[in-house]
Amino acid sequence: MALAARRFSGGVIFLIFLQIILRRGDSFSGRQKPKQWNNNNACVFYQGSWVYDASYPLYDASNCPFIGDGFKCRKNGRPDTDYLKFRWQPRRCDLPRFNGEELLERYRGKKIMLVGDSLSNNMWQSLTCMLHTAVPNSNYTLTTNHFLSTFLFPEYGTSIMYLKNGFLVDLVEEKIGKVLKLDSISRGEEWKSVDFLIFNTYHWWTHTGHYKTWDFFQVGSKLVKEMDRMEAFKIGLTTWGKWLDSNINPSKTIVFFQGVSAVHIDYLLDQHSITFFPQILRYLRSMALMISSTLPFPLLLSPKRHQFPLLPLPLKPLIPKSNPNPSSQMVVRAQSFHTLASGAFNLLQSNPSTWQSALLSNLLIFVLGSPILVSGLSLSGIASAFLLGTLTWRAFGPSGFLLVATYFVIGTAATKVKMAQKEAQGVAEKRKGRRGPGSVIGSSAAGCVCAVLMINKVGGEAFSQLWRLGFVASFCTKLSDTVSSEIGKAYGRITYLVTNFKVVPRGTEGAVSLEGTFAGLLAAITLASAGCLLGDVTAPEAIVCVIASQIANLGESIIGAVLQEKEGFQWLNNDVVNVINISMGSILAVLMQQLILGH
């Protein structure tokens, strides 16, 4: 789905491109420029702001045949339209409203090409829609040849083209896999005959894991599996710049460049799920607001700050339709709501927790905390976390749930630290740090086992504290691992391979840094202390959790350095290693309690 951020991030360069070609058209045609453009210092396109304009948008995306399904915001469930009503306003001048017919008239026989990733695609679609809206009765042709799409107005001979090329250099399929050739441009012939070239690249260079579209980098005869992403980006842009210097005549062709594009929304669910998810949130928030009016304590719920607007609940009349007294109907409804709210409140206080109380409590907390959840989890990750939260509340009550919530908040905050730097270096978590179901399951597997053992009363009361200890230790271990990794990638000055202490790049599997290690230790102490304050573990047991977490994390680093990403161990991905790590922390804590504390 096209986001407002995408529209605004690419909008300035797009408008500057349009204004410059219109100004260039004045010089070609001999027309006099507007007054505000006579003085070179009068108008600086790059300085200004987005202002609301009720006369916008310039076209209706729902009726434009060139908009891809992924860019149809309203069709994909976006409820608001105000983001469409913004235009760019330079500080010292006014821009004339876009005139598509005039542009086509001025540039008869000219070619305009946008080259890049989905940002260029978005701009190409917008321009074709604006032109089609401006001259709705003109004939046009739209042809697609592999990666090249060409929109042509035969009446004017004007072509608007989009060439999909996310790197600007060659990405070639070979026997060994896909090779990104940083010093090669073999498809540049398509650029040579164009009058206006608008390039963009950056976002694809930062991709990792299965989002990465290449297998190897190549410079000359040197072939490598991985390299510093900013260094690769620099080499690729240098190749592109040299190609332009050698092949493009600046007196005939104008070149634009846009560096950074917006990040795509996480398409982990199908289209129907994506459009239905906001509706679920709206109804749940409406229900929460309804219940909060009769609870004996206030709920921290501010509907104006939520991402999705509230919708009225479709309530059936509680009295016969023939009742002419509407106030009586309101009283009956209020009594019904009060009964519902009182029952819900009593259910929330169930001790020990039941499945019903766990489900209701988890539902309310997830509704109220959804802005925080969506910042740290994908949609499918939220679904997995909901199951984890329900299981945790059922097994360990509010204290266990609060412990996991503390883990989530600290872990998410650490992941977001210096995200731009991590992305530039290619070591950031995918999806801007929003974890998916694999991460949720991998991080909570040992805790879930302890929860199941607790619910089924395995070992009776004598073993219940063991399961609580194992539960707390598992999340201490995982939080320590997450924080040490994320802080190390952000602030670690020197990273060492844990097996031989050789200096290695940040993000290397099995690498540690002093900064990350200290931060991880502090995180484990923080969460263990929270577990102690909540009554899940005693003070000596909290110390055991911290020690066990550090031993387990050392073991995980050794596994990462010795086995992960090695031949024959491709199955040993981060999620599997997470399960091993937290299981070690949980088991070690239980053993240490028995052997050292003598319980």
Question: What are 507-547's pLDDT values in tens digits?
Answer: 677 678 888 889 999 999 999 999 998 888 889 999 999 99
Q: How many CA atoms lie within 13 A of 242 on its CB side?
A: 11
Question: For residue range 311-364, what is the model confidence (pLDDT) as tens digits?
Answer: 333 333 333 444 444 444 444 444 444 444 445 545 555 556 778 778 887 788
Is residue 61 a contact partner of residue 27, using CB atoms and an 8 Å limit? no
Query: What is the predicted pLDDT for the residue at 216?
Result: 92
Shared domain check, 107 and 235 = yes
Look at residues 68, 79, 437, 76 and name the one whose alpha carbon lies nearest to residue 268: 437
- Could you say which of 301, 319, 349 is where a domain stops? 349
Query: What is the predicted pLDDT for the residue at 570?
Result: 65
Shared domain check, 301 and 165 = no
Shared domain check, 275 and 217 = no
Look at residues 504, 502, 476 and name the one whose alpha carbon lies nearest to residue 403: 476
Domain of residue 443 covers: 356-595
Ranges of residues in the chain with a pLDDT under 70 are 1-42, 209-210, 260-352, 433, 506-507, 510, 564-572, 598-599
Q: Which three-class secondary structure state does DSSP give residue 305?
A: helix
Shared domain check, 575 and 509 = yes
Query: What is the predicted pLDDT for the residue at 565?
Result: 60
Q: Which amino acid is at 308?
A: F
Look at residues 195, 115, 104 and name the one whose alpha carbon lies nearest to residue 156: 104
Query: What is the predicted pLDDT for the residue at 291?
Result: 39
Shared domain check, 186 and 86 = yes
Look at residues 368, 363, 437 and name the one whose alpha carbon lies nearest to residue 393: 363
Question: For residue range 166-216, what is the model confidence (pLDDT) as tens digits?
Answer: 899 999 999 888 999 999 998 888 898 899 999 988 888 888 766 788 889
Is residue 16 a contact partner of residue 46, using CB atoms and an 8 Å limit? yes
Shared domain check, 132 and 94 = yes
Shared domain check, 31 and 135 = yes
Query: What is the predicted pLDDT for the residue at 571?
Result: 64
Shared domain check, 291 and 229 = no
Shared domain check, 65 and 13 = yes
Distance CA 553, CA 511 (A): 11
Is residue 519 a contact partner of residue 487, using CB atoms and an 8 Å limit? yes
Query: What is the predicted pLDDT for the residue at 263?
Result: 55
Considering its fold, how many domains does the chain have in total? Answer: 3
Strand residue runs (E) in 399-448: none
Query: What is the predicted pLDDT for the residue at 240?
Result: 92
Shared domain check, 393 and 288 = no
Distance CA 309, CA 281 (A): 9
Shared domain check, 226 and 323 = no
Q: Which three-class secondary structure state does DSSP give residue 391?
A: helix
Q: Which helix (DSSP H) or strand (DSSP E) does residue 52 occupy?
A: strand 48-52
Shared domain check, 251 and 208 = yes
- Could you say which of 227, 258, 289 is where a domain stops? 258
Distance CA 394, CA 351 (A): 10
Query: What is the predicted pLDDT for the residue at 543?
Result: 94
Query: What is the predicted pLDDT for the residue at 377?
Result: 85
- Could you say which of 229, 258, 287 is where a domain stops? 258
What is the separation of C-alpha 192 from the centre of its chain, rounded to a whole number of angstroms?
A: 37
